């Protein structure tokens, strides 16, 4: 179709050129017909015919050739000037054959493209299969090394269990099962890690392991900063288990918080306050703070303050009070009771008395309470008066016996309970039995069973 349009366009462009052979006349000078020469007109007609023939020849030369009858049309277009016929002389059947030929050529071209794509896909599949075969071959070659590496890991696992369960030096401080288990876990992990590293070095994967360990170190550093408080409490709990500044059931005070120890877990130290409440203190706080243990030393001192009137004899008051304190059941003879004058003024004389109690046998609070009662009764019996805030006049010093009996308390010891108070100890024992967390402490002596 393109060649046909080109032929006709060439013919149309060639037609104006035929006017070149015609005589030109001036616009200003007109020649009359009678004055024109007869030979000039004949030459003009002949030149016109010649230019038409040349234009048609050029158009025919640009047209596509007509394929011969009964043969396949050529897939390519011929531009030869020797075409026997022009496009205007082709029949509709010839044009249909030409169109079919072009269609077949396009189908052939697409088929070749598809075949080329299939060949490329086949090449890719072949390359993938070759790669898989190479990997399988390398894996088969490394099977003995893999088996040996697996045996090394299994041997390291068995050796770690043997060391954790058999060696005597791993059972240091066996009274603390948490620390003993922690040491066993660390030893097992270390031995197993060495075995895994040897196996990986045998397989040639050491660079990969180094990269993984480096990444794990960076991640561990980031997590350490993120969970610093948790890590601090965990490490402090381990150190408390190693140092053992207290045992379960001990009466301790930390930062003004007082109670008896229930347990120490990986995060906190659990206390039971003297009024029966559970108190959890972070291990980091307990480890760094000043800790007061009332139970570690079984002997504990108590003291109390007594006021007497300024007119009374201090020596006499001291003698009476010391005798009364020494007679209290539960007060130790060694160290012996003592006393001190705290202050003397218009308000009276302040006397402080001291005594010692064995906490394993007697309760400190009960013994102190009984000592105060006995001193007050002894002062009343010895007419040692306390300071008065109201002045009064006494006209008769004699007193009735019934009046004296109503004021002065008896000095007998009968019916006085000075035994150790086990209420909190029983609650501590119950809380320890109900606790499901792992305890870092184990009592050296069962204080709660008494």
Q: What is the mean pLDDT of the chain?
A: 74
Distance separating alpha carbons of residues 404 and 410, to the nearest angstrom: 11
Q: What is the pLDDT of residue 17?
A: 46
Q: What is the pLDDT of residue 436?
A: 64
Q: What is the pLDDT of residue 277?
A: 92
45-54 mean pLDDT: 58
Question: Tell me: the pLDDT tens digits for 313-360?
Answer: 899 999 999 999 999 999 999 888 999 999 988 788 999 999 999 988
Strands (E), 4-132: none
How far is C-alpha 381 from the geometric centre of its chain's CA atoms?
Answer: 73
Looking at the chain, the domain(s) classified CATH 3.30.70.100 span 299-419
Looking at the chain, the domain(s) classified CATH 2.30.30.60 span 232-295+425-449
Distance separating alpha carbons of residues 269 and 329, to the nearest angstrom: 36
Q: What is the pLDDT of residue 285?
A: 93
Distance separating alpha carbons of residues 96 and 83, to the nearest angstrom: 18
Q: What is the CATH number of domain 232-295+425-449?
A: 2.30.30.60
Q: Is 302:313 a contact under the CB 8 Å cutoff?
A: no
Q: Is 265:234 a contact under the CB 8 Å cutoff?
A: no
376-386 mean pLDDT: 92
pLDDT over threshold 80, residue 361? yes
- Position 393 confidence tier, pLDDT thresholds 50, 70, 90: low
Q: Is 228:284 a contact under the CB 8 Å cutoff?
A: no
Q: Is the pTM of this model over 0.75?
A: no
Question: Tell me: the pLDDT tens digits for 222-254?
Answer: 877 778 888 888 889 888 888 888 988 899 999
Q: What is the pLDDT of residue 34?
A: 43
Specify the CATH number for 299-419; select among 3.30.450.40, 3.40.50.720, 3.20.20.140, 3.30.70.100.
Answer: 3.30.70.100
Strand order of the β-sheet with 299-308 is 299-308, 348-358, 338-345
Question: Tell me: the pLDDT tens digits for 394-419?
Answer: 666 555 544 544 344 455 555 566 77
If you ran DSSP here, which 8-state letter would residue 346 be given?
T
116-129 mean pLDDT: 77
272-278 mean pLDDT: 91
Residue 220: in which H helix or E strand, if any?
A: helix 206-226
């Amino acid at each position: 179709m393109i060649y046909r349009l080109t032929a006709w366009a060439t013919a149309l462009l060639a037609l104006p050129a035929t006017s070149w052979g015609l005589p030109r006349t001036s616009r200003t000078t007109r020649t009359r017909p009678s004055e024109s020469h007869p030979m000039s007109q004949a030459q003009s007609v002949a030149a016109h015919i010649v230019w038409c023939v040349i234009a048609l020849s050029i158009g025919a030369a640009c047209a596509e050739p007509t394929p011969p009858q009964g043969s396949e049309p050529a897939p390519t277009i011929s531009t030869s000037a020797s075409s026997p016929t022009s496009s205007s002389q082709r029949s509709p059947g010839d044009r249909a054959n030409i169109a079919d030929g072009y269609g077949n050529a396009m189908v052939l071209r697409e088929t070749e493209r598809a075949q080329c794509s299939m060949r490329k896909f086949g090449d890719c599949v072949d390359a993938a299969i070759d790669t898989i075969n190479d990997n399988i071959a390398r894996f088969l070659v490394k099977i003995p090394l893999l088996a040996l590496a697996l045996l090394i890991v299994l041997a390291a696992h068995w050796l770690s269990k043997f060391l954790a369960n058999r060696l005597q030096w791993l059972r240091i401080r066996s009274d603390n099962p948490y620390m003993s288990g922690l040491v066993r876990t660390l030893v097992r992990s270390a031995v197993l890690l060495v075995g895994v590293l040897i196996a990986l070095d045998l397989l040639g994967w050491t660079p990969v392991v180094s990269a993984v360990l480096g990444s794990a170190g960076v991640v561990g550093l980031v997590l350490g900063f993120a969970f610093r408080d948790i890590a601090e409490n965990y490490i402090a709990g381990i150190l408390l288990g190693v140092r053992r500044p207290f045992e379960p059931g001990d009466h301790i005070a930390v930062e003004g918080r007082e109670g008896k120890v229930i347990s120490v877990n990986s995060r906190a130290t659990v206390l039971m306050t003297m009024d029966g409440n559970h108190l959890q203190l972070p291990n980091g706080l307990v480890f760094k703070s000043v800790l007061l243990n009332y139970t570690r030393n079984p002997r504990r001192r108590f003291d109390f303050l007594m006021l007497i009137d300024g007119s009374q004899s201090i020596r006499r008051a001291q003698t009476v009070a010391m005798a009364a304190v020494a007679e209290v059941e539960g007060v130790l003879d060694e160290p012996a009771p003592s006393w001190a004058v705290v202050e003397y003024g218009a308000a009276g004389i302040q006397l402080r008395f001291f005594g010692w109690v064995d906490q394993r046998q007697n309760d400190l609070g009960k013994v102190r309470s009984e000592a105060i009662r006995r001193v007050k009764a002894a002062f009343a019996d010895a007419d040692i008066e306390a300071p008065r805030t109201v002045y009064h006049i006494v006209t008769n010093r004699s007193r009735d016996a019934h009046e004296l009996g109503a004021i002065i308390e008896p000095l007998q010891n009968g019916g006085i309970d000075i035994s150790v108070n086990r209420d909190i100890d029983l609650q501590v024992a119950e809380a320890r039995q109900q606790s499901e967390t792992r305890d870092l402490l184990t009592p050296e002596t069962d204080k709660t069973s008494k």
